[in-house]
Structure 1
Amino acid sequence: MKVDTKSIKNTENSVFSIDNEVTQIYQEFLETLLNEKKSASTYKSYRFTIQDFLQWIATRKKKPVSKCDMTHYHIEQYMHYLQVEKGHKPSTVHVKLTLIQKFVRFFFQQQKEIPAYAIQVQLTQVEPAQPSEPCVLTLNEITLLLKQVKRLNDVTLLTCLAYTGMRIHECIQLTHQNVDMDRRVIRIWSCKTKTHRTIQMNTLLHKQFQTYLQQVETKKDTDYFFLNHLHKPYNATTINRLLKRVTKQLGWNKHVTCHTFRHSFATNLILKDVNLPTVASLLGHKDYRVITKRYIHLNEQIERNAVEQLIC
């Protein structure tokens, strides 16, 4: 695949280029991501982050970006720019730092000699990210939201997100072979964790799938399970726009996204005293301690539920 590495433009429309060496290795890096079968969203994140970083350097230097610019100094300055001037959250900056560090590490692995300053790149740090409480919907709110959605296609996809805890890319990439209506299970391949897992369908989801399959015409030239009203596969952006519109109609002051259903799925299971290893397994996490850290804000409620169990 040929990667787009056109000249970078700054806000004054002056053109700054990347030198041939950086261009070549940048192309090789993106091609490596494709060969690793990264998800479309992951690939896009890498490409956007690295291009923005290189553009930021080019704008400051006003000359082509070279390997000498791959330093911890420039990365630290770029992180500062993201936090102070762009106002990004520490968690967002941490993600971007990780992506850039991987690119720079790949860059110098292609070199015969690794300069001393390149080693310092991996030591670059930013302000520690503070855990934030995710947006969560109660079971009643999920029911209200689903009733507000008009199209059967959309309702079915959102119902799947709500009652399986899937990541959005896992959901929209489901095929008919992944959905076993007889055994009431969904088999998932995760691009993120490179693992397979099986999720049980509850009665509500199974009934919704039956209605969907009976009423929605299956397109013969695609095996995608979920197709929108135009008989085309979904994308996350479309779903997030739908959720923004629906939450506005409901008058909610909540930032509901596709991932909100995953947080809600986990939270509602935990509040119903489902053990953490089971919740982690359903979400596709190998280590249940990930759940403990992510949902630390639930500890007080969990402890309250626990002591209430002693009351006869």
Structure 2
Amino acid sequence: MELAAVLLVIAVALVFDYTNGFHDAANAIATSVSTRALSPRTALLMAAVMNLVGAFLGTSVASTVGGGIISPPEGISGLVVVLAALIGAITWNLVTWYFGMPSSSSHALIGGLVGAGLASAGSVKWSGVVEKVIIPMVVSPIVGFLLAGLVMIALLWIFRSGRPRRLTRGFRHAQTVSAAAMALGHGLQDAQKTMGVIVLALVVGGYHEGFAIPWWVVLVSAGALSLGTYSGGWRIMRTLGRRIIDLDPPRGFAAEATASAVLYTTAFAFAAPISTTQTITSAILGVGATKRLSAVRWGVAGNILVAWVLTIPMAALSGALAFWLIHALVT
């Protein structure tokens, strides 16, 4: 019975990973596609490959998600909590994807875990939630916005005497590298979140001790994320690539380079599961503001901010409802 439940949770975790891929594919490629640095299909293939590679670069974020957010009971009861958390996260991902809103799959998963944990009267590790989720959630977009603006100002000064046509062509080539770096960071951050949930299910089910990540968990998580990325996220791509601001190649490069740097720093230095969506969106806003404030469509940005604020509580509500429903069915 418990083995079947563990396998079910792993399967649903991989479904979440897949939805994360197509939901967040735009994070890595929207800017390079909108500036015509890459064709959409080429960009998706590149992002899928780099997602796969990025997933093998570390497991510290996975350990945070698996052992630092909730402490569910062992056995079937704990597996129900993890399953409900995943269902809550998937539900919110699909809702925001349908409306083309670049919300955070990472925060949807965290919200699902917290909601299911509270509904089960289980232990939510609030210190971990505050330190590893809430603080980075607030700080990383601010850092992304300010740093991207500074990088763009530096580029404008360095190339102030350059020929516009030649610079545009050069930055289109540079965006191939920056988009790949962004996709690598997405794989590094987001595949690890699914790894952490799978290991949590294995621990709760009694099939694993500690939160070290087995190689096969890395492999299947990376594969599911990569497949989801290749399937595309066209609705959200339009929002990031065109609706916030009309990007040119230099600004696209600055946004991607800044966002990828923030992703690497938080993963390697702080083991914090930050949102790739928030990071790249805030970077796009930062480079857009250097053009002129009116160039940014702040109404669209405001709608995105609402989605950010709602993600954790709404995913938590979805996770709690899923827990109560599943618990009623199995008891």
Which structure shows the bigger proportion of residues in strand conformation? 1
- TM-score (ref. length: structure 1): 0.32
Question: Looking at both structures, which has the greater relative contact order when contacts are Cα pairs under 8 Å and sequence separation is at least 6?
Answer: 2
